[in-house]
Amino acid sequence: MGRYIQVEDHVKIYVEDIGEGIPVIFLHGWPANSQMFEYQYSILPKEGYRCIGMDFRGFGKSDAPWESYSFDRMADDLKAVIDELQIENAALIGFSMGGAVATRYMARHQGKGISHLALMGSATPVFTQRPDFEYNMTKEDLNAQLIIPTYEDRPKMLSQFGLKFTHHKSRAALMVWLELLCFQASNHGTIKAAESLRDEDLRADLPHINVPTVIFQGQKDKICDPKLAELTQQSIPNSRLVAFEDSGHAMMFDEQEKFNSELLLFLNQMSGGNNNSGVASHNL
């Protein structure tokens, strides 16, 4: 079921709410929307989980205001969704930019309503290089590869970005579908969220995370260097890193069976391993 939730600056955020049971909130990556988790939505409700997918402002079916695409603002939107739906003891799943917003939420709002966290190909602790941070792309590279081309030819930018998204190139139809999801974003939302990825720093946020946390990372990732996952894991007390050796950025597509199995293993910890049907009940 889809619905809109209006947040404090009168922006309407689109939310999908599928299934019943333990809530699992999905935060998508740049510049897609929550439908990128389609292959989790089709499995988790059968296992007793309620899937809640939120489109960030400017993306998917949410409103696209001209301004306000900071991680603070998007974390506040997430809090409004959690408050409106009266969510408690949820798992928060953040992929790429969604991982950055999830991290900001955990620090800014003290993890309200969240009992478990999964960061996947996460744009943390910092997405671009700094004088004291030597990893991943430079700000100049981000401008040249993502922001300037979006002003000039967004479809071409998305096609080129998509080439880096997965390690396996045999699933061409799936990548066309994912590219179509990215076309649903607003042009200015795409640009301004990319500016947040370029400029924001989450190093001070990560130590505030105090719930069980798992970090999924494709070892052939060309968007978020695997070193970022190692640094993220080192900054979150008692977190655990799961490596996807044969995956690029989007391990949920490159190693779909392992991804869904590892996600279910993690989620089943929330119910002490006693959730309805267990990990092995599906042909993933």
In this structure, what CATH number is given to the domain that contains residue 273? 3.40.50.1820
* Catalytic status, residue 96: yes
114-128: buried (b, 16+ CB within 10 Å) or exposed (e) per residue? bbbbbbbbbbbbbbb
109 noted as active-site residue: no
pLDDT tens, position by position, for the chain (284 residues)?
899 999 999 999 999 999 999 999 999 999 999 999 999 999 999 999 999 999 999 999 999 999 999 999 999 999 999 999 999 999 999 999 999 999 999 999 999 999 999 999 999 999 999 999 999 999 999 999 999 999 999 999 999 998 888 876 667 788 889 999 999 999 999 999 999 999 999 999 999 999 999 999 999 999 999 999 999 999 999 899 999 999 999 999 999 999 999 999 999 988 765 554 443 333 33
Catalytic residue, candidates 96, 122, 186, 235: 96
Give the pLDDT score at 254: 92
> What domain range includes position 53?
2-281
* Count of structural domains within the chain: 1
Q: Which residues contact 193 (CB under 8 A, 6 or more apart)?
A: 30, 31, 56, 58, 59, 69, 97
On the question of a cis peptide bond just before residue 226, with omega within 30 degrees of 0, the verdict is no
Catalytic residue chosen out of the listed positions 28, 116, 167, 249: 249
Residue 221 annotated as catalytic = yes
The whole-angstrom separation of Cα 184 and Cα 176 is: 13
Q: Per-residue DSSP letters for 78-97?
A: HHHHHHHTT--SEEEEEETH
Residue type, 53: G
Considering the entire predicted model, what is its pTM?
Answer: 0.94
Catalytic residue among 122, 221, 239, 247: 221
Q: What is the pLDDT of residue 275?
A: 55
